[in-house]
Amino acid sequence: MSDRSHLFSLRAGHALRDVLAEGYSLNKLGKDLLAGITVGIIAIPLAMALAIASGVAPQYGLYTAIIAGLVIALTGGSRYSISGPTAAFVVILYPVALKYGLSGLLIATVLSGVLLLVMAFMRLGRLIEYIPESVTLGFTGGIAVVIATLQVKDFFGLPIAAMPEHFVDKLLILGQMLPQLSWPSLLVAVVTLAVMLLWPRLKTIIPAHLPALFIGTLLALLLLGFGAELDTIGSRFSYTTPDGASGSGIPPYLPYFDWPWLRPGPDGELLGFSWQLVKDLLAAAFAMAMLGAIESLLCAVVLDGMSGRRHSANSELFGQGIGNIITPFFGGITATAALARSSANFKAGAQSPVAAMVHALVLLLGLVLLAPVLSYVPMAALASLLIIVAWNMSEAPKAVHLLKTAPRSDIWVFITCFSLTVLFDMVIAITAGILLAALLFVKEIAEMSKVTDISHNRKQVEQPIPTGWQVLKISGPLFFAAADRIFADIARLSERSRGLVLYMDGVPLLDAGGLAALNKLISKCHKSKTQLVIADLQFQPLKTLAKAGVKPVPGQLSFYPTLREALETLYQQAAAAEDQDG
């Protein structure tokens, strides 16, 4: 399939179909099995940690990675992407879970899936590329700060029942409770963090967070044996079995189907389903869909660069939409492609989406077989893991480079997105960031449009022009933000001129705003009895004028294909006028 068809194609299971069409061998299956097992093991603690950070029990993160990982791999457009819960969503999901409980979060996820499908059917996949880097770096940096702030509570073992929704309130309560820190929790967190920072120096294929969590858990068990108090997954979370018995930690059961609005709401009460609830959750769902689209397509672009393959952007949006619609009915929260896990998948030798499906099955086995063991993982160790995740996703070196080298407008966009993400929410941050970037871009493009008097430029105007005439060269697009200024400047010149020649070979665009401004100039010249000559129009402006019915008016308005022809006619008219006077 050609690159162009990949850009605009939309079909379910695009990536899987491409692989099968090329031929899928036992050798490729073996590589996919190895890669899937590797990433599945990596994903187990990450899925739990991200669910907890999002305000829900850890098993819902595993359900997300299992169901979404399988469904999106089957239906999406990227060969190597691994989908599941990601750190980027924490800043959106946590406030929703805090206010509406698991039930509201699942309903919002279904709505985000529907929006992703709409984006796919509207072929908006490639439009994500038009979001400036200053916007993406701004909100990912802001998300990283929020995630890291949420981990301070468990890192220090602070006795805070629930974190407030707003960032400033979070800082205030953390500052107030810091004197009550738990030294055992802090010790486990610091040791886990140290292992994660030092492990990469050993240059092994084992990712740092696995040995770090293992050592952190062993240390926690040792401290618990000496009577220390430490929060673990087992002590923090509990569940009820189908026969009514209760258990601690993670339920060792497969994900089961249930209506999202019948899951626990705030304080364990049922929310029920209503259109008012849908309207209340729509803003959060929009932010989830936008962020999911950006994350999944940026991940696919990075994987294309690593593999030399091409993903189908619209098919990937389709897969993400289907995955986020189905997953909540099995208890899973919002999912998107995760760059760290996807990169690990490719580096482990993945050949096709089958590796992502194997990863989902490994998580399923881990849920059933390892649930009792996972209950011993300390919350402080998971907090350290998420702090490293936050640092990695912040892309701090890129942000610093942007602040040092980018134009002032990009720096303002970055600061705006970063600040709004931290202080308010992603909906405001993404909307304001894109609008600000668009306005600043329009301003910069408008400033590129200019008018220059070339009447005495002998390279372009070889002979002196008749008295009272001027030749003006217009450069740049004449759109709504630039045309009024350009034609207003020309109109002032027309008041003291017999005639004006507008040389427009440097004008690639004339929009409705530019057309209106040109018509004002034509009327102004008519009133001041100034003759207007337009020369060397490019195709788009010429087509716009023809469609608008702008025609030559003898003695007032004329058009010429080249500047040379316009000037030759002008010289001939001047010579004829002199002969007539003589």
Question: At residue 354, what is the residue type?
Answer: V
CA angle centred on 452, ends 447 and 455, rounded to 5°: 175
Predicted confidence (pLDDT) at residue 328 exceeds the cutoff of 60 = yes
Instruction: Check if the beta carbon of residue 381 is closer than 8 Å to that of residue 213.
Output: yes
Cα(472)–Cα(455) distance, rounded to whole angstroms? 7
Phi first, then psi, for residue 203 (nearest 5°) are 55, 45
Instruction: Check if the beta carbon of residue 498 is closer than 8 Å to that of residue 469.
Output: yes
Predicted confidence (pLDDT) at residue 120 exceeds the cutoff of 50 = yes
pLDDT band for 2, please (50, 70, 90 cuts). Answer: very low
Predicted confidence (pLDDT) at residue 282 exceeds the cutoff of 80 = yes
Dihedral sign for Cα atoms in the order 399, 405, 411, 415: positive
Residue located via tokens 């389903």: 273
Residue ranges of alpha helices (H) inside 178-312 are: 183-198, 209-225, 233-236, 275-307
The full set of domain ranges for the chain reads: 26-252+295-396, 450-579
pLDDT value of residue 140: 84
Cα(541)–Cα(291) distance, rounded to whole angstroms? 38
pLDDT value of residue 461: 86
DSSP-based three-state secondary structure for 408: helix
pLDDT value of residue 446: 87
Instruction: Check if the beta carbon of residue 450 is closer than 8 Å to that of residue 476.
Output: yes
Predicted confidence (pLDDT) at residue 431 exceeds the cutoff of 80 = no
CA angle centred on 38, ends 33 and 41, rounded to 5°: 120
Instruction: Check if the beta carbon of residue 143 is closer than 8 Å to that of residue 151.
Output: no
pLDDT band for 452, please (50, 70, 90 cuts). Answer: very high
pLDDT band for 579, please (50, 70, 90 cuts). Answer: low
pLDDT value of residue 542: 93
The pLDDT tens digits of the residues spanning 372-415 come to: 888 999 999 999 999 998 898 888 899 999 999 988 888 988 99
pLDDT band for 503, please (50, 70, 90 cuts). Answer: very high
Cα(341)–Cα(356) distance, rounded to whole angstroms? 10
Cα(63)–Cα(43) distance, rounded to whole angstroms? 12
- Give whole-number Cα distances, 364 to 48, 52, 65, 249, 360, in Å: 13, 18, 9, 16, 6
Tell which CATH architecture fits domain 450-579. Answer: 2-Layer Sandwich (3.30)
pTM of the model: 0.78
Predicted confidence (pLDDT) at residue 581 exceeds the cutoff of 70 = no
Predicted confidence (pLDDT) at residue 517 exceeds the cutoff of 90 = yes
Cα(43)–Cα(392) distance, rounded to whole angstroms? 16
Residue ranges of alpha helices (H) inside 449-511 are: 483-494
